[in-house]
Structure 1
Amino acid sequence: MTPAAPRLSLRPGQPGDLPFLQSLAPRLVASAPAWRDRAAMLAEYDELFTAALTDPEPGSAVLVALLDGQSAGFTLLYWHPHDQGVFIKDLAVSADAEGQGVGRFLLTAIEEWGRQQGAQEIMLKTSWFNARAREFYAAVGFREDHVALVLRLDG
């Protein structure tokens, strides 16, 4: 008998998800260029995730993917009505859940959420150095559009 395929489900983020989101923050900053201060980036994520879960901005959402009932990934989204688009601020999958369809499941949920808002497009940013993420997004139909250049003024 073959084992049952893993079951994926989705739910809105809740304040109790803060430790889970925080546990994935290092994955979000791992591919940042060497000149970025990863400790500062992680501190910013603590504030961002806390606000997103406890005092969300209008038009934002945190969606948590569950794999067999366990938190496996999340996305933080913002609706931009003027641009008629959804911006994926963050999307991360736990190391244990990699390769099990969680990322694609979240992207499907994002598409559905965006369609409910009336979106015409979904946009995201990822580090130029994160080849794996860029390949993943390209494989599901995202196309590169903008290049961001950064000049640090603090040193």
Structure 2
Amino acid sequence: MIVRRATVADFPAWAEMLAALHGDIADFAAELPVFTALDQPYVGFIAFDGDAAIGMIDARERNFAEGAPNLRAAYVEDLWVAPSHRGRGIARLLLDAVEQWARDQGLEWLGSDALIDNEASHAWHRAAGFTEIERLVVFGKPLD
């Protein structure tokens, strides 16, 4: 098992895993080059079993994260592990890579979120050392 920072060559596998996590909501293959070129850092790490990509995590630097002691913080945007590889510590290895990246960026806080009813994710976050900061229901409306 290898966990390494994603490269341009990994974009197709990374996009496929994002689609597995989010469904058909976006063309991730087209968005990854844009996201990774933003001024605010956006990074992905991929877990491989041999040549097969079996998990990914991506994170970015944000100007705000709930609970952060200052305004700059790293934030986990997505985390996914292939169902056949879950429960083997792969998500934790991916998180370790993001934590090291964040430290290397001089960041002192790592935020993350989960859907309010995703108890499995809540339990994983607590086991990984996260503390629940707040519960939030987000609203939005189009401006015509």
- State the TM bucket, normalised to the shorter chain: 0.7 to 0.9
Structure 1 counterpart SS, 2:134: coil
> Which gives a bigger RCO, structure 1 or 2 (Cα 8 Å, sep 6+)?
1
Aligned to 1:111: 99
Residue 24 (structure 2) pairs with residue 11 (structure 1): no
Equivalent of 2:49, from 67, 76, 82?
Answer: 67
Structure 2 counterpart SS, 1:72: strand
Amino acid in the other structure paired with 2:16 = S
Moved over 4 A (4+): 44-47
Aligned to 1:5: none
**Change over 3 Å in CA distance of 1:134–1:56 after alignment to 2:** same
**Change over 3 Å in CA distance of 1:148–1:49 after alignment to 2:** farther
Residue 40 (structure 2) pairs with residue 52 (structure 1): no
Amino acid in the other structure paired with 2:99 = E
Distance 2:89 2:38 in 1: 27
Residue 73 (structure 2) pairs with residue 85 (structure 1): yes
Amino acid in the other structure paired with 1:107 = L
Structure 1 counterpart SS, 2:26: helix
Amino acid in the other structure paired with 1:89 = E
Q: CA deviation at 1:113?
A: 1.1
- Give me the TM-score of the superposition, normalised by structure 1: 0.73
Structure 1 counterpart SS, 2:114: coil
Aligned to 1:21: 14
Distance 2:102 2:79 in 1: 15
Distance 2:49 2:71 in 1: 33
Q: CA deviation at 1:105?
A: 0.4
**Change over 3 Å in CA distance of 1:131–1:26 after alignment to 2:** farther
**Change over 3 Å in CA distance of 1:25–1:153 after alignment to 2:** same
Q: Which moved more, 1:14-23 or 1:119-128?
A: 14-23
Gaps of 5+ in 1: 1-7, 30-37
Counterpart contact for 1:20–1:71, Cα < 8 Å: yes
Residue 89 (structure 2) pairs with residue 101 (structure 1): yes
Residue 112 (structure 2) pairs with residue 124 (structure 1): yes
Radius of gyration: which is bigger?
A: 1
Q: CA deviation at 1:104?
A: 0.6
Aligned to 2:138: 150
**Change over 3 Å in CA distance of 1:49–1:119 after alignment to 2:** same
Gaps of 5+ in 2: 64-69
Distance 1:76 1:117 in 2: 15
